[in-house]
Structure 1
Amino acid sequence: MDEMKKQRRPSVQVYATVWQRALAMIVDLVVVTVPLSVISYLIIGNWMGDWITIAIEVFYWLIIPVLTGGYTIGKWMAGIRIEMRSGTDPGVLCMFFRYGIVPFFYLISFGVLFLVSVGMMMIRPDRKTLHDVIANTVVVKNTVPKYVLQNTKVSA
């Protein structure tokens, strides 16, 4: 099975664009987060969610990328995925830092760290955000351009 995973992964990391990442996030919010908030509001009258909708959100953001090799619905539709800097699939602890711990700091900083993170993504050559740096992940495209040789290392 490990051989099969290695075969489906290119030997080169080609980083996802800012627009691909933004599209993936919008799709994830529209497909998962907004409907769950509406369902929660209709059931209990609270936008913040009940324990069932919160459990579904946690499962979606922390476990689904681990089970699918770095994909969420939005990332799959945008043609990108999360992987560890080494090129391996992300683990649960990595996803916990990426989608649990760092967004908490985005909230308590009133969005300032989120703006710093977006700025990092725009100026860094590897397009890493703050949560990528802390979780040691990158967001890469599914395909490698034809002009890139398979034995070439593009990532730094």
Structure 2
Amino acid sequence: MSNVAGFWVRLGARLLDALLIGMVIGTFVFLFQMDTGSRVTQTIESVASILYFVLLPVFVYGYTVAKRLLNIRIVKKDGGNVGFGAMVVREVIGGFIYVMTFGIALVVSAFMVGLRKDKRSLHDFLAGTYVTHDRPEHWE
């Protein structure tokens, strides 16, 4: 593992990505005059978020939009590109664990990223990933 990304840059990327998703969903809701509290709207937002955080890193070398802006990306523990399975475990299963522990596991993960030398969180351990500043080998 090399050039690992720390707590603040990872938090910043997650917040920027959430803002981006919120803006896109908000625009969609406004254009189609949808009820923001409806189950349909909430389901659309949830599905869009899952697709964004799971699929985009698989197809764009571990980057989301905000991770690319902040020059960090998700990679496998061996430094290779992440796959669909790893991203499902990292985002969906990891998120499920955070919800099921009422956020306690999320707080533990934040401390792990802040205090561990390898800066890996709980969802990184589950998926066999870490976040790095290194660019892909063939990236221009």
User: Same fold per TM (> 0.5)?
Assistant: yes
Identity of aligned residues (%): 27
Paired AA for residue 87 in structure 1? G
Please give the TM-score of this superposition, normalised by the length of structure 1: 0.75
State the Cα RMSD in Å. Answer: 2.0
User: SS state of the match for residue 79, structure 1?
Assistant: coil
Partner Cα separation in structure 2 for residue 78 and residue 129 of structure 1: 19
**Cα separation, 2, equivalents of 1:78 and 1:95:** 20
State the alpha-carbon separation in 1 of the partners of residues 108 and 48 from structure 2: 29
The aligned residue for residue 148 of structure 1 is none
Tell me which residue corresponds to 1:65. 57
- Pick from 61, 72, 77: which aligns with 1:85? 77
Q: How does 1:7-156 map to 2 (within 5 A)?
A: 13-32=2-21, 34-38=22-26, 39-40=28-29, 42-46=33-37, 49-142=41-134
Q: In structure 2, what residue type is equivalent to 1:35?
A: M
Q: Is the partner of 2:132 in helix, strand or coil?
A: strand
- Report if the CA contact (8 A) 1:13-1:140 is conserved: yes
Instruction: Show structure 2 runs of 5+ residues with no match.
Output: 136-140
Q: Distance in 1 between matches of 2:72 and 2:49?
A: 20
Residues 54-112 of structure 1 deviation map (CA, whole Å, 9 limit, x = unaligned): 43222211111000010001111111000000111000110001110111111121111
Given the two structures, how large is their TM-score scaled by the length of structure 2? 0.83
Number of aligned positions between the proteins: 131
Counterpart Cα distance in 1 of 2:120 and 2:74? 11
The answer for the alignment partner of 2:138 in structure 1 is none
Structure 1: state its 5+ residue gaps.
1-11, 144-156
Partner Cα distance (1:70, 1:54) in 2: 20
Counterpart of 1:20, as a letter, is V
Q: Aligned in 2, Cα 1:103/1:19: closer, same or farther, shift over 3 Å?
A: same
Q: Residues of 2 paired with 1:76 and 1:54: CA distance? A: 22
- Give the CA deviation at 1:36: 4.7
